[in-house]
Amino acid sequence: MTQINENYLKLTGGYLFSEIARLVKTFREENPSANLVRLDIGDVTEPLAPAVIQAMHAAVDEMAVRSSFRGYGPEQGHGFLREAIAKNDYQSRGADIDASEIFISDGSKCDSGNILDIFGADNVVAVLDPVYPVYVDTNVMAGHTGPADAAGRYGGLVYLPVTAENNFVPDLPRQRVDLIYLCYPNNPTGVVASKEMLQRWVDYAHQNGSTILYDAAYEAYITDPSIPHSIFEIDGARDVAIEFRSFSKTAGFTGVRCAFTVIPKGLKGKTQDGREASIHSLWNRRHNTKFNGVSYPVQRGAEAIYSPEGRQQVRATIEIYLTNARLVREALKKLGIQAYGGVNAPYVWLKIPGSLSSWDFFNKLLREANVVGTPGSGFGACGEGYFRLSAFNSRANVEEAGKRLAKII
């Protein structure tokens, strides 16, 4: 028989959100009349912006005519979208990023996992705890870890705790690490990173020859002007960081699929015998070989987000989710529950009252309130005793969830 990649056998369970979907499905089958409110996976509910729809329709019409039909596009993405991103998301914020440093893709989840293709197997990898599980699981799959211990921590990974005790600000690693995953606004805790904090990480990366993998999928939720939207707003970051961005949460593209990764041309890695290699070139090579680009109508839809109408429409939807987050926080506060995040972010992270574990609280909410959230321990051992509620739902459902929580807590 053919051999398998045994690293997959080290994974302690299914992918967190698939597991929750499975539990919800079983619950629905057993309780067909239950009207569930889903505040678990961060999946958008509001329709696409009219400007996006219009641009996608126009692009589909182009595809219907021989003279404007397009086949394969550039694997890295069309120039019109890369230019719009460079100008609006980076240069306008003083971040020196060129369109040629932007790689359009179908998702940040995919990119943050696939990026491991171009890094060596012996790198020491640091993640926050709790953390978006993709960073951990993809390192396990790639064979970068040992087995998990009883708390679910994989051998070989450096975990940096973020809890209420340290105000969710991770300490710099005590040992040297090669790759560092950072996500701000943070998933799952909903906290943000100041410029000073990111500067400390960039300085650490310079001093230690490390690379920061910066996930900014939720940057559009930042309303505080002092909070950086990109790692590339930080001095020196161009030499030490890669950034992942997505249109999923920015513009409701979870079902449309469009994202991008930014790799500055000067970013270098090294070979085992000490020669320098361009990370941009390696990713470009990988992209050309393993990816055929995002569909043309989708890229036109993404471009429309940067038009004056597009911006306004997308902003209005983000405001809906941010208000939802505020309502969730307020509902929790009224119940005397300590909540974090949810101000410049769509996730609210709460300390579970009493002594219930994260999964016990999940079950209590599901069974007694028909509300679905995400157990904090699913994001890592330090998430035990915490719970995540997402603001991605309709206003009516978020208000309903608040009322139901009040009845059972």
Binding residues for ligand MLT (CB under 6 A): 41-43, 109, 132, 187
**Per the structure block, which two tokens stand in for 160?**
């940096």
Q: Which is nearer to ligand MLT, 68 or 394 (CB)?
A: 394
Are 247 and 258 contacting, i.e. CB atoms less than 8 angstroms apart? Answer: yes
Least Å from the CB of residue 28 to ligand MLT: 19
Least Å from the CB of residue 366 to ligand MLT: 17
Radius of gyration of the chain (CA): 21
Least Å from the CB of residue 41 to ligand MLT: 4
Q: Which is nearer to ligand MLT, 43 or 309 (CB)?
A: 43
Least Å from the CB of residue 341 to ligand MLT: 12
> In 292-314, which positions are buried (b, 16+ CB within 10 angstroms) versus exposed (e)?
ebbbbbbbbbbbbbbbeebbebb
Q: Which is nearer to ligand MLT, 82 or 109 (CB)?
A: 109
**Per the structure block, which two tokens stand in for 316?**
């209005």
C-alpha dihedral (146, 150, 152, 155), degrees to nearest 10: -20
Least Å from the CB of residue 390 to ligand MLT: 6
Q: Phi and psi of 21, rounded to 5°?
A: -60, -40
Least Å from the CB of residue 275 to ligand MLT: 36
Q: Which is nearer to ligand MLT, 189 or 284 (CB)?
A: 189
C-alpha distances in Å from residue 53, one per residue of 47, 170, 313, 314? 10, 41, 11, 12
C-alpha dihedral (144, 270, 288, 219), degrees to nearest 10: 70
Q: Which is nearer to ligand MLT, 132 or 232 (CB)?
A: 132
- Of 247, 246, 284, 248, nearest in space to 264 by CA: 284
Least Å from the CB of residue 278 to ligand MLT: 29
Specify the residue for token string 């998301």: 89
Between CA 381 and CA 153 the distance in angstroms is 7
Between CA 266 and CA 278 the distance in angstroms is 7
Q: Which is nearer to ligand MLT, 99 or 251 (CB)?
A: 251
The DSSP symbol for 334 reads H
Q: Which is nearer to ligand MLT, 229 or 280 (CB)?
A: 229
